[in-house]
Amino acid sequence: MKYDVTVIGSGPGGYVAAIRCAQLGLKTAIIEKYNVLGGTCLNVGCIPSKALLDSSEHFHNAAHAFQTHGIELSNLQVNMQQMIKRKGEVVKSNNDGIAYLMKKNKIDTYYGLGSFVSKNKIKVTGTDGNVQEIETDKTIIATGSKPASLPFLPVDKKRIITSTEALELTEVPKHLIVIGGGVIGLELGSVYARLGAKVTVVEYLDTIIPTMDRALSKELQRVLKKTLGFEFFFNHKVTGATNNGETVTVTAENPKGETLTFEGDYVLVSIGRKPYTEGLGLENAGVQMGERGMIAVNDHMETNVPGIYAIGDVVRGAMLAHKAEEEGVLVAEEIVGQKPHINYNLIPGVVYTWPEVAGVGFTEEQLKEQGRAYKSGSFPFKASGRAKASGDTDGFVKVLADKETDEILGVHMIGPRIADLVAEAVVAMEFRASAEDVARMSHAHPTYAEAIKEACLAATENRAIHI
Amino acid sequence: MSLEVKVPAVGESITEVTIANWLKKDGDRVERDEVIAELESDKATFELPAEAAGILHIVAQQGDTIEVGAVICEIDQEGAAPSPVTPAAQETAPTGGAQASNAGEAVEMKVPTVGESITEVTIANWLKKDGDHVERDEVIAELESDKATFELPAEAAGTLEIVAQQGDTIEIGATICRIMPGAGTVQANAQAAAKQEAATQQAAAAQPAAAPSGAQTYASGTPSPAAGKILAEKGVNPADVQGSGRDGRITKEDAQNAQGRPAQPEARPAAANAPAQLAATGNQQTASTGDRQQRREKMSSLRRTVARRLVQVKNDTAMLTTFNEVDMKPIMDIRAKYKDKFKEKHEVGLGFMSFFTKACTVALQEWPAVNAQIDGNDMIFNNFCDISIAVSSPKGLVVPVIRNAEELTLDGIEKEVVRLAKKARDGKLSIEEMTGGTFTITNGGVFGSMMSTPIINAPQSAILGMHNIVQRPVAVNGQVEIRPMMYLALSYDHRIIDGRESVSFLVRVKELLEDPMRLLLGV
């Protein structure tokens, strides 16, 4: 077969790129190594983790919040099998959804390992060993990433696990040791902490979620300690882990150089993810790699080989599904000669803990580093009528605006449902709204979104109404 | 509410009109656009349509001569109601008393009649923006016809509502804009707006964060995400787009309406550009290092007309050119000798143009076919010599006419040439001054042309091309002498002029110029 475009990888970057190509009239194929579409995000990432986060949050509320609401339960129990089964159903229905979208857009789907034979020829090796060859004019590499591991700490997938295994546990750990205080470690740590596990986070740096505004990491750290009993060890360098059969021992070095030992029954290695290009045969097409295993691309996501593009986790930038999606659309449109643009500064970052954490634009630390004159306005959910009603009073919204022009430069939030609310901040910032602009827009009452308006009022000239 | 009707500007050279005839009586009810009077200028007559419906009050009487812009009559719009109800009146009557600002009807401004041969005009420039407040008689636009440009004064005070856009070519009588009576509530005129802005700025100073909408801010000119993509594809710099969004942000619609200009050389590296070119719709350019900007602008109405006519002449005539040369020494000697005296007596310089014009008129009368023209299956012979002179003006090539040049003395011709050339330079030639003509003289010599083949100025049949004067060795009475020589070219329409006539005409012109005594003696 001969295609205008072949996409390798069917994650949110790949399948979105394929659909956009098809919409633009290009004959498109998509190759997926596994026997289900959707990539990491759908199968072992965003979607299943959200399913478990929601399930575990229900349990946590039932155990801790219901009583205050006047609901009494007895014999509250976790049915881990059912929880994992339901997660599987959520994933399955999304798999089917993407398969339907491929069909609807007349995209040919190939299951198997895609690898370059030459610049315009790709071999697909199925799990049954069956080999097909397809010809293509353009290729979009969207092979994503895999959990990274430490060389001295091999993952055995039993006691020493990655996020993939953490989504399939058949029991609730008694003590989960999380290596790495990033998004994945905190989300999956939250899942099991809510279900009753003791969670210890060992972090090499001095903070959790280090890429986000410091005010957010501080507040999240406080809330996780308070509500879920998280233990944090910062500036600790993990030196090893041993599977003792029923337990696991983790050793780490504290800032003073002393060695500490942590005893638990599971250790989650969540130190980040690395680009995945194995078996792609990039050398056969002459595609050059960049630093740290990434594929090097220019601003148009094109590799050094004209006609071969790469998007998502396999290239530079944040490893986020929505970033990959934007890049997929961009490449499809570039291929037909359009001139799209991505404002990387306005790709929001989100953490699905409870309270949720989200931010877009510059952090306060970045503005300080730039030496930019800015002003800041905050509004705590403690003062929100809506938050009081639901009982979710932890967190705040912080708006950073230019001191002279009042243009919003960053919005950083921690609180209930703010993963959804950050979209308002993105819209405002894409249109370069000022804090007062947002403050002058009606926000429905009572909603969590009012906190954004109030924070904007505070940023404008410290005139929040409800505090 | 009463609307004053003023004498419209009907042409650049016309400063006053005479009221030839009132077609309506004082106190009559008139409908909008109904012809109420016939006006007469020294060049033409034209009709005066009513600018609104209502009761007519005549100010200037029949036979009066009044200046352009003077009040000619008044139309009482309030009085419209009691008359037989018309659709137009229906609109105003119910609101007449209730809302003062809506009492008047919108004045629909149409393209005025500017000359007999002109059927359409191009809007060269709107001097006021849509929604601006305009004062009556304030110039709101510049119109351009084939032959001249003229200004369009507002017929009433109110808020301008533009109908025909800049660059549009519209027919005489077509609606060009509307003026809504009553002060513009949203937008005051420029001065008031400036004041307002100053006031807002003061307010803003007191209240630092109050960003007045519509003012220039840090966000002005920011394209929305979709707008940014469209502009990038069109190759339009956002700085060249007027944003209509809040605080001048560029909306998707603004981007869609933005005029695409040939893309400036892009900063993108060529390799990066390659994929984008697969199906690119825009201009493709091969890699090149130098600055390669192009500029695209609309042809003016005048330019378009010139272009069309020149091609038409080439296609419709059997044009060819005959050449000769003339020894300019005798005329130069005469000039040298009498230049000062001539200037003293006639207050105009003695140039070559008068000699050439005079020589042509003599030769034209001897060879009438050269002074004739084809009209369908007929030939029209003229017993007068109206000599068109090609003049380069800021607006382009114009060809004013020296009437009955055969009757003029040398100083008379010189004076006429000076007068017309000055008007051409100032863009003040009237249409009448450019129409007609039986023969054309063009002088490419002033720009240094040695030899050329001019194109006939249709419907004329011949054109004489003058060139530069060059010192050349020539044989005079068996001796080589250095003489100031000029080549002459005569392009002519072979359908009406035979070779014998054209060549003989040109030889005759040469003879007359080389021996100007013949002009005096008529031999």
Q: Annotate chain A with three-state secondary structure.
A: CEEEEEEECCCHHHHHHHHHHHHCCCCEEEEECCCCCCHHHHHHCHHHHHHHHHHHHHHHHHHHCHHHHCCCCCCCCCCHHHHHHHHHHHHHHHHHHHHHHHHHCCCEEEECEEEEEECCEEEEECCCCCEEEEEEEEEEECCCEEECCECCECCCCCCEECHHHHCCCCCCCCEEEEECCCHHHHHHHHHHHHCCCEEEEECCCCCCCCCCCHHHHHHHHHHHHHHHCCEEECCCEEEEEEECCCCEEEEEECCCCCEEEEEECEEEECCCEEECCCCCCHHHHCCCECHHHCECCCCCCECCCCCEEECHHHCCCCCCHHHHHHHHHHHHHHHCCCCCCCCHHHCCEEECCCCEEEEEECCHHHHHHHCCCEEEEEEEHHHCHHHHHHCCCCCEEEEEEECCCCEEEEEEEEECCHHHHHHHHHHHHHCCCEHHHHHCCCCCCCCCCHHHHHHHHHHHHCCCCCC
Q: Is omega for the bond preceding B484 within 30 degrees of 0, making it cis?
A: no
Interface test with A, best of B218, B251, B264, B283 (most A CBs within 10 A): B218
Residue B94, H or E segment:
helix B87-96
Residue linked to tokens 């012809």: B35
Q: Which residues of A296-314 are buried (b: 16+ CB within 10 A; e: fewer)?
A: ebeebbbbbeebbbbbbbb
What confidence score (pLDDT) does residue A313 get?
97
Residue with the bigger pLDDT between A425 and B218: it is A425
Interface test with B, best of A288, A301, A432, A462 (most B CBs within 10 A): A432
Q: Where are the domains of chain A?
A: 2-147+274-344, 160-271, 355-461
B422 Cβ under 8 Å from any chain A Cβ? no
In a domain, B283, yes or no: no
Res A296 pLDDT > 90: yes
- Are B321 and B336 within 8 A, CB to CB? no
Of A336, A407, A435, the CB nearest to B219: A407
Q: Cα–Cα–Cα angle for B413, B419, B424, nearest 5°?
A: 120
Mean pLDDT, residues A383-387 taken together: 96
Mean pLDDT, residues B464-491 taken together: 95
Residue linked to tokens 């250790």: A267
- Are A27 and A50 within 8 A, CB to CB? no
For a pLDDT cut of 90, what percent of chain B falls above it? 32
Contact A302 B272 (CB under 8 A): yes
Spatial separation of the C-alpha atoms in residues B346 and B415, rounded to whole Å:
9
What confidence score (pLDDT) does residue B43 get?
64
Chain B: residue whose CA lies nearest to A300: B272
Tell me the nearest-neighbour CA distance from B199 into chain A, angstroms.
19
Top-ranked range on mean pLDDT: pick from A267-276, B100-109, B215-224? A267-276
Q: Which CATH class is domain A2-147+274-344?
A: alpha beta
Q: Among all residues of A, which ones are annotated catalytic?
A: 445
What confidence score (pLDDT) does residue B306 get?
80
Mean pLDDT, residues B68-96 taken together: 57
Q: Domain count for chain B, please give it.
A: 2
Given B84, B105, B126, the domain boundary residue is: B105
Q: Is omega for the bond preceding A446 within 30 degrees of 0, making it cis?
A: yes
Query: Could you report the per-residue pLDDT of A315-359, keeping only the tens digit for each?
Result: 999 999 999 999 999 999 999 999 999 999 999 999 999 999 999
pLDDT tier for residue A66 given thresholds of 50, 70 and 90: very high
What confidence score (pLDDT) does residue A361 get?
97
Given B63, B84, B105, the domain boundary residue is: B105
Chain A: residue whose CA lies nearest to B209: A460
Mean pLDDT, residues B120-133 taken together: 85
Res A192 pLDDT > 70: yes
Contact B279 A336 (CB under 8 A): yes
Res B472 pLDDT > 80: yes
Given B42, B75, B105, the domain boundary residue is: B105
Res B215 pLDDT > 90: no
Tell me the nearest-neighbour CA distance from A435 into chain B, angstroms.
9
Contact A300 B232 (CB under 8 A): no
Res B320 pLDDT > 60: yes
Contact B275 A302 (CB under 8 A): yes
**Fold match between domain A2-147+274-344 and domain A355-461:** no
Of B210, B229, B249, the CB nearest to A338: B229
Res B99 pLDDT > 70: no
Res B278 pLDDT > 80: no
For a pLDDT cut of 70, what percent of chain A falls above it? 100
Tell me the nearest-neighbour CA distance from A90 into chain B, angstroms.
33
- Are B349 and B336 within 8 A, CB to CB? no
Contact B218 A298 (CB under 8 A): no
Res B198 pLDDT > 70: no
Mean pLDDT, residues A3-22 taken together: 97
Q: Among all residues of B, which ones are annotated catalytic?
A: 494, 498
In a domain, B238, yes or no: no
Residues of A in contact with B271 (CB under 8 A): 298, 306
Which of the residue ranges A47-56, B241-250, B261-270, B428-437 would you say has the lowest mean pLDDT? B261-270
Contact B275 A461 (CB under 8 A): no
- Are B11 and B41 within 8 A, CB to CB? yes
Spatial neighbors of B37 by CB under 8 A, at least 6 apart, are B19, B20, B21, B22, B23, B24, B47, B48, B72, B73
User: What is the CATH number for B394?
Assistant: 3.30.559.10
What confidence score (pLDDT) does residue B170 get?
85
Spatial neighbors of B473 by CB under 8 A, at least 6 apart, are B480, B481, B482, B483
| Cα-based torsion angle of the residue sequence B504, B508, B511, B515 in order, rounded to the nearest 10 degrees | 170
Mean pLDDT, residues A182-205 taken together: 97
Tell me the nearest-neighbour CA distance from A298 into chain B, angstroms.
7
Query: Could you report the per-residue pLDDT of B60-73, keeping only the tens digit for each?
Result: 888 888 888 888 88
Contact B279 A337 (CB under 8 A): yes
Mean pLDDT (chain A) is: 96
In a domain, B469, yes or no: yes
One-letter identity of residue A292: R
What confidence score (pLDDT) does residue A145 get?
97
DSSP-based three-state secondary structure for B101: helix
Interface of B with A in 208-267 (CB under 8 A): 208-211, 217-219, 222, 224-225, 228-229, 232-233, 245-246, 249
Token pair of A193 as six digits = 């902490």
For a pLDDT cut of 70, what percent of chain B falls above it? 81
pLDDT tier for residue B308 given thresholds of 50, 70 and 90: confident
Residue with the bigger pLDDT between B261 and A238: it is A238
Top-ranked range on mean pLDDT: pick from A6-10, B43-47, B146-150, B346-350? A6-10
Query: Which of B311, B303, B319 has the alpha carbon at shortest distance from B460?
Result: B319
Of A138, A433, A436, the CB nearest to B209: A436
Mean pLDDT, residues B419-427 taken together: 86
Spatial separation of the C-alpha atoms in residues A454 and A457, rounded to whole Å:
5
What confidence score (pLDDT) does residue B394 get?
75
Query: Could you report the per-residue pLDDT of A303-315, keeping only the tens digit for each?
Result: 999 999 999 999 9
Residues of A in contact with B218 (CB under 8 A): 402, 404-405, 407, 432
Label the pairing between strands A198-202 and A231-233. parallel
Of A306, A341, A430, the CB nearest to B274: A306
Contact A337 B280 (CB under 8 A): yes
The whole domain housing B365 covers 316-521
Contact A306 B277 (CB under 8 A): no
Of A341, A402, A461, the CB nearest to B228: A341
Top-ranked range on mean pLDDT: pick from A432-436, B244-248, B397-401? A432-436
Mean pLDDT, residues A66-90 taken together: 95
Mean pLDDT, residues B478-504 taken together: 95
**In angstroms, how far is CA B282 from the centroid of its own chain?**
33
Res B262 pLDDT > 50: no
Spatial neighbors of B313 by CB under 8 A, at least 6 apart, are B319, B455, B456, B457, B458
pLDDT tier for residue B79 given thresholds of 50, 70 and 90: low
Tell me the nearest-neighbour CA distance from A335 into chain B, angstroms.
6
Residues of A in contact with B269 (CB under 8 A): 298
What confidence score (pLDDT) does residue A450 get?
97
Could you tell me the fold of the domain covering A160-271? FAD/NAD(P)-binding domain (3.50.50)
Residues of B in contact with A439 (CB under 8 A): none
Query: Could you report the per-residue pLDDT of B321-366, keeping only the tens digit for each?
Result: 999 999 999 999 999 999 999 999 999 999 899 999 999 999 999 9
Residues of B in contact with A406 (CB under 8 A): 209, 211
Query: Could you report the per-residue pLDDT of B111-120, keeping only the tens digit for each?
Result: 887 766 778 8
Contact B219 A431 (CB under 8 A): yes
Query: Could you report the per-residue pLDDT of B432-464, keeping only the tens digit for each?
Result: 888 889 999 999 888 899 999 999 998 999 999
Mean pLDDT (chain B) is: 80
Which of the residue ranges A247-251, B140-144, B283-287, B300-304 would you say has the lowest mean pLDDT? B283-287
One-letter identity of residue A122: I
Give a three-class secondary structure readout of B192-260: HHHHHHHHHHHHHHHCCCCCCCCCCCCCCCCECHHHHHHHHHHCCCHHHCCCCCHHHCECHHHHHHCCC
Spatial separation of the C-alpha atoms in residues A129 and A123, rounded to whole Å:
12
User: Count of alpha carbons within 13 Å of B206, Cβ hemisphere only?
Assistant: 5
What CATH number should be reported for the domain whose range is A355-461? Answer: 3.30.390.30
Spatial neighbors of B356 by CB under 8 A, at least 6 apart, are B441, B464, B466, B509, B513
Q: What count of other Cβ atoms lies within 10 Å of the Cβ of residue B287? A: 8
Res B107 pLDDT > 50: yes
Alpha-carbon Rg of chain B, whole angstroms?
A: 31
Of A339, A404, A407, the CB nearest to B233: A339
Mean pLDDT, residues A133-157 taken together: 95
Backbone angles phi, psi at A103, to 5 degrees: -65, -50
What confidence score (pLDDT) does residue B101 get?
41
Chain B: residue whose CA lies nearest to A342: B225
Token pair of A183 as six digits = 């998004």
Give me the total of CB pairs closer than 8 Å, taking one residue from chain A and one from chain B: 78
Tell me the nearest-neighbour CA distance from A326 into chain B, angstroms.
12
User: What is the CATH number for B51?
Assistant: 2.40.50.100
What confidence score (pLDDT) does residue B57 get?
87
Q: Give me the sign of the Cα torsion angle B372, B375, B379, B382.
A: negative
Contact A432 B219 (CB under 8 A): yes
Contact A306 B249 (CB under 8 A): no
Q: Is omega for the bond preceding A210 within 30 degrees of 0, making it cis?
A: no
- How far from B202 is each of A86, A440, B486, CA to CA, in Å? 63, 21, 71
Token pair of A340 as six digits = 């799209």
Q: Which residues of B35-49 are buried (b: 16+ CB within 10 A; e: fewer)?
A: ebbbbebeebebebb
